[in-house]
């Protein structure tokens, strides 16, 4: 079959983008043609992929997305595909990968009522309705069950259109046999002693991922613990607002912000704790990437994959409603207890042996290839 994938932006270090690529490659390995419509593409194009950069522009993102969708539909009318798979919400999809939370719920619960009078709201609400509304036939691939109830609440989407996928952690995130050697070399490279404590925060979109919360938590550590602690944040985002916060908190010598990179497994093995106090996160692959690497996790209950941390007993979860003081106390407690961190790490490695944390791309390909339209 000829498969057409749509996503607004591709870059190598985004969680959504990496999932798209693995799903598309899995479909290709089963003998199907891959066409991709995108507004921008950073990085190499896999052999055999037809990548179409849609030539539309607009002053605002939502106008650009409207023009993108219209252009794609015109192109598909002249060059049909057997399936249209979207990684962003838009009209005309046969299958949608639900990485983003329910927009309508956010608009009604987190925004001023006047927000629903804006053009931005009308656009995103219409694109979401085009996927989940009663006139749509799109099959929906969920990565966290929590969202299904919200989509059904606002759109009456039939339950049979939803397909819950397992996580899709890349096997290269698992701790290899020489993990101790990699850790030692990493810590030498970054000038970390045996008594130094390294926090890592990994993920594009620093604001949503709660980097501001992490910085405050480090600043509020007890003096002796704070002196030993470093934080490295990695992701594709604008760092300047957070660099200003770092200076204001007096953390300039202890915090580094790095752009997205492809050697994340080294950081997972070299660190002492993953901190991920996200404001909201439909899933949170990095939580499980840390678990399978044996790295303890401190996250928030706002993350769809937070229950895995509790199930694996691989760290701690800040409950909702979020309170900075709770995060501060949990971080201090976890950094102070070497024995507990080692046990959380071992628990994560044991969990990685038997839990299905790896087959998302294969299950997603199954849904795409057997969808009814």
Give mean pLDDT in consecutive 10-residue pieces for the chain, a chain of 373 residues. Answer: 98 91 98 98 97 97 97 98 98 96 94 95 98 96 91 97 94 93 97 96 95 98 97 95 98 95 95 97 94 98 95 98 98 98 98 95 97 58
* Helix, strand, coil percent values for the chain (each to nearest 5): 50, 15, 35
- Going by DSSP bridges, is the β-strand pair 197-202/255-258 parallel, antiparallel, or unpaired? unpaired
Q: Is 171-354 the same fold as 2-166+358-370?
A: yes
d(CA 230, CA 214): 11
Which CATH class name applies to 2-166+358-370? alpha beta
d(CA 202, CA 260): 9
Specify the DSSP element, H or E, that contains 340: helix 338-354
CB neighbours of residue 63 within 10 Å? 15
d(CA 238, CA 211): 12
Q: Which residue has the tokens 């840390």?
A: 290
Contact 286, 202 (CB under 8 A): yes
CATH of domain 171-354: 3.40.50.2000
What the block records as the tokens of 10 is: 């591709």
Locate the domains of the chain by residue range. Answer: 2-166+358-370, 171-354
Which strands, in side-by-side order, build the sheet including 2-6?
A: 49-53, 33-38, 2-6, 83-86, 95-98, 139-142, 162-164
Contact 233, 218 (CB under 8 A): no
Sign of CA dihedral 306, 310, 316, 320: positive
Q: What is the pLDDT of residue 160?
A: 96
CA 195 to mean position of chain CA atoms:
31
Contact 136, 130 (CB under 8 A): yes
d(CA 367, CA 20): 14
d(CA 312, CA 302): 18
Across the chain, which distance is largest between two alpha carbons, in Å?
Answer: 67
Contact 287, 308 (CB under 8 A): yes
What the block records as the tokens of 321 is: 């409603």
For helices 15-29 and 285-293, the axis angle rounded to 10 degrees is: 80
Contact 317, 309 (CB under 8 A): yes
For 183-212, the DSSP string reads HHHHHHHTT--TT-EEEEEE-S-HHHHTHH
CA distances from 228 to 211, 223, 310 (A): 19, 9, 27
Burial class (CB in 10 A: 0-12, 13-18, 19+), 366: middle
d(CA 53, CA 42): 11
d(CA 262, CA 172): 11
For residue 267, which of 181, 198, 178 has the smallest C-alpha distance? 198
Specify the DSSP element, H or E, that contains 9: strand 9-10
- Contacts of residue 176, defined as CB under 8 A and 6 or more positions apart, other chains included, come to 182
């Amino acid at each position: 079959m000829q498969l057409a994938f749509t996503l607004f932006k591709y870059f190598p270090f985004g969680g959504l983008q990496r999932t798209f690529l693995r799903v598309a490659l899995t479909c290709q390995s089963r003998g199907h043609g891959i066409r991709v419509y995108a507004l921008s593409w950073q990085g190499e194009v896999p052999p055999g992929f037809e990548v179409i950069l849609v030539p539309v522009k607009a002053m605002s993102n939502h106008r650009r997305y409207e023009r993108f969708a219209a252009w794609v539909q015109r192109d598909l009318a002249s060059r049909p595909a057997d399936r249209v798979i979207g990684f962003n919400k838009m009209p005309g999809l046969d299958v949608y990968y639900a990485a983003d939370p329910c927009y309508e719920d956010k608009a009604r619960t987190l925004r001023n009522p006047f927000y629903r009078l804006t053009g931005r709201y009308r656009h995103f609400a219409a694109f979401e309705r085009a996927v989940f509304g009663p006139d749509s036939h799109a099959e929906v691939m969920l990565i966290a069950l929590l969202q299904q109830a919200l989509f059904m609440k606002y759109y009456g989407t039939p339950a049979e259109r939803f397909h819950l996928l397992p996580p899709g952690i890349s096997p290269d995130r698992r701790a290899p046999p020489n993990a101790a050697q990699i850790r030692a070399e990493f810590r030498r490279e970054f000038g970390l002693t045996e008594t130094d404590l390294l926090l890592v925060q990994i993920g594009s979109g620093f604001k949503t991922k709660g980097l501001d919360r992490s910085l405050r938590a480090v600043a509020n550590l007890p003096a002796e613990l704070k002196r030993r602690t470093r934080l490295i944040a990695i992701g594709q985002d604008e760092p300047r607002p957070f660099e200003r916060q770092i200076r204001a908190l007096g953390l300039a010598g202890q915090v580094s912000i790095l752009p997205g990179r492809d050697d994340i497994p080294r950081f997972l093995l070299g660190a002492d704790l993953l901190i991920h106090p996200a404001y909201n996160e439909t899933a949170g692959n990095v939580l499980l990437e840390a678990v399978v690497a044996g790295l303890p996790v401190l996250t928030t209950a706002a993350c769809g994959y937070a229950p895995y941390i509790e199930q694996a007993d691989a760290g701690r979860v800040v409950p909702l409603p979020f309170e900075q003081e709770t995060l501060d106390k949990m971080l201090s407690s976890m950094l102070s207890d070497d024995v507990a961190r080692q046990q959380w790490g071992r628990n994560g490695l044991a969990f990685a042996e038997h839990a299905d944390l790896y087959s998302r791309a294969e299950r997603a390909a199954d849904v795409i290839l057997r969808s009814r339209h």
